Amino acid sequence: MFEVDHVTRTFGRRKSETAVQALDDVTLDIKSGDRLGIVGESGSGKTTLVRLLAGLDSPTAGEVRFQGARLDRRDPHTLARLRASVQMVFQDPRSSLDPRMKVGQIVTEPLRSRRLRQTGAIPTDPKTRLAEVLDQVGLPAAAAALYPHEFSGGQRQRIAIARALAPNPDILLADEPVSALDVSVRAQVLNLITDLVTTMHLTLVLVSHDLAVIRHLCDQVVVLQHGRIVEQGSADAVYSHPQAAYTKSLLAAVPRLPD
């Protein structure tokens, strides 16, 4: 699905001392059906990596390929295919949902994109799809007529998830989807994501600084430190036999979710 090939992303002037190497020679394959967790401390490059996968940003060096085609922000054709298959859920639903739009409008907005329609990937009509996805994320049909501020944080993230699912994507990118939420609703939202990934056969890329969350949802893990991959492999192997000292320190620092 995705090949990240020796990707470097530098912010700021390239050779100046203030430049930040957010990603440094990252190489990674994401295959259909993978549930990949990306873990690392704050500033390790996690968001930068998922933004590249989402086509929201471009590498400074190296390339990202989607279904074999190089992602290039100036190539509308490949980007349209990406937008039809890849959807993203962001960390904070307060900033990712437009407060002036009703939920019905927010959720169906991706369905109105002309580019998406041209790919022919749009499922059924927007109204039917809206009802379907609200039901899938556990919100009542009446939610469509309300504004985001009329919902709790957990419900708002459900709205954001409904919006991501509306175009029937193959791949879900989730960047810290529960870290802005109240602790009491995190497990519900994570369980919802797990259920949806299973029933819709989605490929999942989940960013979290929390290894317990990744353990709960993912079968593959990539550990980033200072923009470099210091460890990658199956979740079982990484958890039971971490190789990198950094991974060991992450594992030691994080309490595990009870099974």
Ligand X SMILES: Nc1ncnc2c1ncn2[C@@H]1O[C@H](COP(=O)(O)OP(=O)(O)OP(=O)(O)O)[C@@H](O)[C@H]1O
**Contact residues: ligand X, CB under 6 A:** 11, 20, 22, 40, 42-48, 209
Nearest to 221 by CA among 251, 181, 259, 179: 251
Residues in contact with Mg ion, counted by CB under 5 A, come to a total of 2
* The two three-digit tokens of residue 248, written as one number: 């060991």
Q: Shortest Cβ contact with Mg ion: which residue?
A: 47
Residues 212-231 that bind Mg ion (CB under 5 A): none
Nearest to 215 by CA among 246, 244, 243, 247: 247
CB atoms within 10 A of CB 177: 29
**Span from 38-46, 49-57, 232-240, 247-255 in contact with Mg ion (CB under 5 A):** 38-46
- The smaller minimum CB distance to Mg ion, of residues 75 and 92, is found at 92
- The smaller minimum CB distance to ligand X, of residues 22 and 97, is found at 22
- The smaller minimum CB distance to ligand X, of residues 48 and 85, is found at 48
Beta strands in the chain (DSSP E): 2-11, 20-30, 35-39, 61-66, 69-70, 86-89, 171-175, 203-207, 220-225, 228-234
Residues 42-61 that bind Mg ion (CB under 5 A): 46-47
Half-sphere exposure (Cβ direction) of 194: Cα atoms closer than 13 Å: 14
- The smaller minimum CB distance to ligand X, of residues 102 and 228, is found at 228
Taking the complex as a whole, the smallest distance from the CB of residue 164 to ligand X amounts, in Å, to: 19
Taking the complex as a whole, the smallest distance from the CB of residue 47 to Mg ion amounts, in Å, to: 3
Taking the complex as a whole, the smallest distance from the CB of residue 226 to ligand X amounts, in Å, to: 9
- The smaller minimum CB distance to ligand X, of residues 92 and 170, is found at 92
Residue for token digits 């295919």? Answer: 81
Nearest to 160 by CA among 97, 111, 69: 97
Contact at 8 Å (CB) between 178 and 186?
yes
Q: Which residues of 76-106 are buried (b: 16+ CB within 10 A; e: fewer)?
A: eebbbbbbbbbbbbbbbbeebbeeeeebbbb
Taking the complex as a whole, the smallest distance from the CB of residue 46 to Mg ion amounts, in Å, to: 5
Taking the complex as a whole, the smallest distance from the CB of residue 189 to ligand X amounts, in Å, to: 18
Residue 239's binding partner among Mg ion, ligand X, none (Cβ under 5 to 8 angstroms by kind) is none
- State the residues that interact with Mg ion by CB under 5 A: 46-47
